[in-house]
Amino acid sequence: MAIAFSHPAAGMAQVPTQDTDRMIDALLRPTGWRAEWQGPGGAGVTEVVFQRRDGKLIAKIRLITPSEMTCENPVTVGPDTVTFDGCRDPAVTLTFAANDKDIPFRGRSPRGYEWQLRAK
């Protein structure tokens, strides 16, 4: 499976802090996200649903390919980023691009995997 990734241009304007609520509202879409990732060990597809639970954000993750796996992990929110551990890939940090209707969240993990989230 080939997944094409595009990187935002370096030096793009950061989302202002007041847009954090807009980012969280987008993140919490009830139908969730299709996460496509690729890196040194291959590529795959994951479904992610972000939820509020006890005042915290949680990522419910279902790894679809290359193998089935599920997990839940807490989410850390920055002014224009969200960070969470995937089932196999720790510290996935995604940047929110409010004007990108196709892929509003994209980023990478310290292990060298690139991630992008598309609305389901």
Domains and CATH numbers, the chain: 32-119 (2.40.128)
The answer to whether residue 112 scores a pLDDT higher than 80 is: yes
| pLDDT score, position 18 | 60
Please give the pLDDT value at position 14.
42
What number is the average pLDDT over the span 6-21? 49
Contact at 8 Å (CB) between 51 and 74?
no
Percent of the chain with pLDDT over 70: 85
Q: How far is CA 65 from the centre of its chain?
A: 16
| Predicted model pTM | 0.83
